Structure 1
């Protein structure tokens, strides 16, 4: 009995100590236990609020407001915007034949592009910018059109009236066929050697479109737009011959050509019925052949001008300043002048025929005679020398 009661007593003592410890720690742990769920719920609520804010910001559509709904040409209005991407580059234009519901009919060809303004949004996606009032190239109704230049496409329109500008009704919306792109568009083709020397780069825009409307589309007229950098695209019509029945698809190939000497990053856009279907980037290399030509031209032309200038200077300078002309050196074997006669050298045969005592001096008339070259004094001859100058012989007194 004693051995069985001992462990039971120990167990009861341990329970009492645990209960006493809980009683002591309960006042300390109770506030923490009460605050923990509230903190977790608050954090979860904050996360949900942040997620909701982000979702609202992502789902929010860009909005544009104007300081005045009507103004005349030469005036100025203030354009405000919100709901745009932070630090986004935007372009503001006054466009005709447009409404906020249908957008800009005809694209930027209906806008006063020369009087547009660029603006960059702040960190919250808002902006404020003044815009001069100009008349668009087409009649009103008009809008102030704001659209992104780079990145994801986004735009917004605000109705505006240009005082004194003519108005015309909008074209009716078509109820026939409706084309949509079914496959990724691509640019096909390659540049030749002439493009390296500045020829216009050319490609083919290939895509597959389908008719989602209820009526066939016959001979659709597409528009190809080419944009370089931050500039708005320049649109050109590209007709396509053929018929696309309702529910059918077709492969479209349209030529794309840039200006001569074009290089850099371009954006090719395809538009049909006022709606942009495709945007395709195109990087065009620099025409290094033109650069090489100008480098060679800058080297050859100055050298040619220098040579021509030296030739002209040599022709027009005075003769006294010219260097004397060099006379050709006379050859030692050249023949003697016609007026001089050279005395032949005596040979052994002719020397033996001479009489002993004969002088070997040349005759007086010879040109090789020294006496002929030196004039003798008239008062003195070798035979009439003064006696005082004659040499005396030994023994004479």
Structure 2
């Protein structure tokens, strides 16, 4: 059923839902548009509405071939909406769910497009703050690029910043999606352009591997891994690409590349990646996180035959977000972990690619396996010791000579 959005737009059909609102196919004075209608509780927040209006100029000024342009911001009664260009295609999460992972050439071409868009936004003083596959749209009507990739456009600029008001978050909350949050955000520092580079490098890792480098389990455990763990190498990719990933996933923001540098370096690597098939990497299981206070079943432990594996990033972290929606939004607000909580995780135990069924180092399952192994070794040692003692006794009994006969003779008594 059609509904009016302000005085200039009409929304006809829902394209997708997320935690921040609903995306509609709409019609405006200049033709079809996409209308992101934010939640009603957001539109009733007068402080947020004021911030929304203040951001109007910055958002409307972002014009780039790899950015979904915002045409208008509508504040009308209970409606708070962003009117955007309509992209005829799908989002990157949907393609990733369908294909699991992409060929390196296509993955790098898509990320290079997004990096170009980020470079333009950063030059204008705008930080996205929520780069993830759900916020990357693929234009299916344009020409194909390297590796058969479609032109990629970054969308939802400003949504995280609009929702992240001082009253809502104070100094103890962080806004974002756990799998893609830079360590400095987890530690409570203000977001700079480098947080978008970290998130985009995480997206590239996910496109190549099929899972994010620090994801899995309770969101609190994911946040801690961003701060304490190092990224695990992906077998089968050129060293030049891996070193680029490592640099952009550096814990120190100053060590990461700028968006323009990242885009240029990625495009230089495209000829090296031509024709490479998708990586053959085992997806890690999602292990229970005892220290996080919430157990999450391992993906391969109790999965019924024929049941699809749940991919990293496809799990909605916000109540009401539906995994089947084409525009899933896992944007959420979380408490900033205390320093002792961040220091509580084991270093170097990232979710490494490993053989199917093998436990992740440092996990509850790994500790249980280790305890069983130690108990088995101890019992085996006791049994071997007992068997050895019995053998020694038997051997000693067989080889011990009999005592000599008494050779004394009885002498006649002396009369």
Normalising by structure 2, what TM-score?
0.23
Larger radius of gyration: 1
More helix per residue? 2
More strand per residue? 1
Greater length-normalized contact order (CA 8 Å, ≥ 6 residues apart): 2
Normalising by structure 1, what TM-score?
0.24
